[in-house]
Amino acid sequence: MFINLLTVNIETKRNKLYDYIRFADDKKVKEIYTLVKDDIGEEIDPWQEESFVKELDRRLKDIESGKTKGVSWEEVKLKARGKSNIQK
């Protein structure tokens, strides 16, 4: 039976792909993975990145020393809504 995948909704397509991959042989799975591996990516934990932690430490020290003025969470939310008096 032929199904035109261009007219099938996205959920149906997703289910068909899921079923195909679940039962595909190893060679097909490897080929499909090769096509999508860059899109899948790896989950990155920024707290494991030394440069990220160092930058946060530097910024915190600047705020604590008074070198940089911090902004409260309330001020950030107001600015995001366009209702703040924070200088740009």
- pLDDT tens digits along 14-38: 899 999 999 999 999 999 988 888 8
Domain count, the chain: 2
Q: For residue 5, tell me if it sits in a domain.
A: no
Verify that 73 and 52 share a domain, yes or no. yes
Verify that 35 and 61 share a domain, yes or no. no
**Structural domain range at position 30:** 10-40
Predicted model pTM = 0.42
Verify that 52 and 73 share a domain, yes or no. yes
Rounded alpha-carbon distances, angstroms, from residue 85 to 15, 66, 72: 50, 20, 13
Q: For residue 31, tell me if it sits in a domain.
A: yes
Banded pLDDT at 2 (limits 50, 70, 90): low
Verify that 34 and 60 share a domain, yes or no. no
pLDDT tens, residue by residue, 27-66: 999 999 888 888 777 777 888 889 999 999 999 999 999 9
Q: For residue 2, tell me if it sits in a domain.
A: no
What is the longest distance spanned by two Cα atoms in the chain? 71
